[in-house]
């Protein structure tokens, strides 16, 4: 784990295949400036755009952004309304740019909790960007890892009860195929902003061997220099995947 921006160590090394980001700090950024929370979320959307551009420049193939957790539904109703409205605006405003840049968008999470207008905007964005091959962008919305794992376990139980699955034959690959992230590589690197040092119910199964970088910068202030520093930090590490040390 790291909580400090990296140096130039590892420059020239191949980038991680899959980077996931816990985008934290929008509210604190706004409150520190005496601004409405909504403006913090809008500034956070600008940071997401910068991060996508940085990932493309760095040669990262998969980028996952944790944008809205299942716990976020408990926030004040006006803030949730602002967030969902911003989501719809972002999807409609950015889909052309994503398509032009070769970015394929995919949304994971419980989208049924969103209204029909938001669900339609998500589906349209996914369909319009389906041909992108430069960057696979996944946005986690109304997402919680425990709920994801529980849903997969229920699917396994239902298949076993129906006689279409012998539980004795189930392996990690088979279980992973029942997660929201089916078909995606596990993250190599998880970045969290705002100085908090936890992963907050994000990709719990998939993060088994991910490297973690915690940065003190609030998400709206996150830029290409922070993304590049995290990649350099990653490149300087020796990944062991559970192998014995020494």
* Mean pLDDT calculated for residue range 92-115: 94
Lowest-pLDDT range of 32-46, 70-84, 230-244: 230-244
Determine what percent of the chain is predicted with pLDDT higher than 90.
81
Q: How many CA atoms lie within 13 A of 204 on its CB side?
A: 11
The helix or strand, by DSSP H or E, that contains position 138, with its residue range, turns out to be strand 135-143
Side-chain-side CA neighbours of residue 18 (13 Å): 18
SS3 content of the chain, % helix, strand, coil (to 5): 45, 15, 40
Hey, what CATH class is 16-137 in? alpha beta
CB 212 within 8 A of CB 232: no
Pick from 67, 47, 44: nearest CA to 223: 47
Cα angle at 6 between 58 and 238, to 5 degrees?
A: 80
Could you tell me the CA-to-CA distances from 26 to 32, 95, 126, 147, 221 in Å, in that order?
10, 23, 25, 24, 9
Cα dihedral sign, 198-194-226-93: positive
Selected catalytic residue, list 46, 72, 78, 136: 72
Report the pLDDT value the prediction gives residue 12, as an integer from 0 to 100. 63
The domain spans of the chain are 16-137, 146-185
Known binding-site positions: 24-29, 41, 69-71, 73, 75, 192, 198-200, 211
Count H helices and E strands in the chain, helices first.
Answer: 7, 6
Active-site residue, 72 included: yes
pLDDT band at 75 (very low <50, low <70, confident <90, very high): confident
Exposed/middle/buried for residue 121 (C-beta within 10 Å: 0-12, 13-18, 19+): buried
158-215 tens-digit pLDDT: 999 999 999 999 999 999 999 999 999 999 999 999 999 999 999 999 999 999 999 9
24 is catalytic: yes
Task: Indicate the SS3 state at residue 54.
Answer: helix
Average pLDDT, the chain: 92
């Amino acid at each position: 784990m790291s909580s400090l921006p990296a140096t130039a160590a590892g420059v020239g090394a191949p980038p991680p295949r899959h980077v996931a980001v816990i985008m934290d700090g929008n509210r604190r950024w706004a409150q520190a400036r005496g601004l409405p929370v909504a403006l913090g979320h809008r500034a956070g959307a600008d940071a997401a755009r910068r991060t996508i551009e940085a990932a493309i420049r760095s040669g990262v193939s998969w980028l996952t952004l944790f944008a809205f957790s299942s716990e976020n539904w408990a926030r004040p109703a006006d803030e949730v309304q602002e967030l969902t409205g911003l989501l719809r605006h972002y999807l409609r405003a950015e889909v052309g740019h994503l398509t032009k840049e070769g970015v394929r968008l995919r949304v994971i999470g419980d989208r049924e909790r969103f209204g029909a207008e938001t669900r339609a905007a998500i589906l349209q964005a996914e369909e319009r960007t389906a041909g992108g091959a430069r960057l696979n962008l996944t946005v986690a919305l109304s997402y919680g890892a425990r709920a994801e794992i529980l849903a997969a376990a229920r699917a396994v139980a239902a298949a076993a009860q129906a006689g279409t699955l012998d539980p004795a034959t189930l392996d990690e690959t088979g279980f992973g195929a029942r997660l929201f992230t089916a078909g995606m590589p596990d993250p190599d690197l998880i970045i969290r902003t705002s100085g908090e040092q936890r992963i907050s119910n994000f990709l719990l199964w998939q993060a088994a061997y991910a490297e973690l970088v915690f940065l003190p910068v609030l998400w709206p202030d996150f830029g290409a220099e922070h993304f590049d520093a995290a990649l350099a930090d990653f490149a300087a590490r020796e990944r062991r995947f559970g192998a014995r040390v020494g």
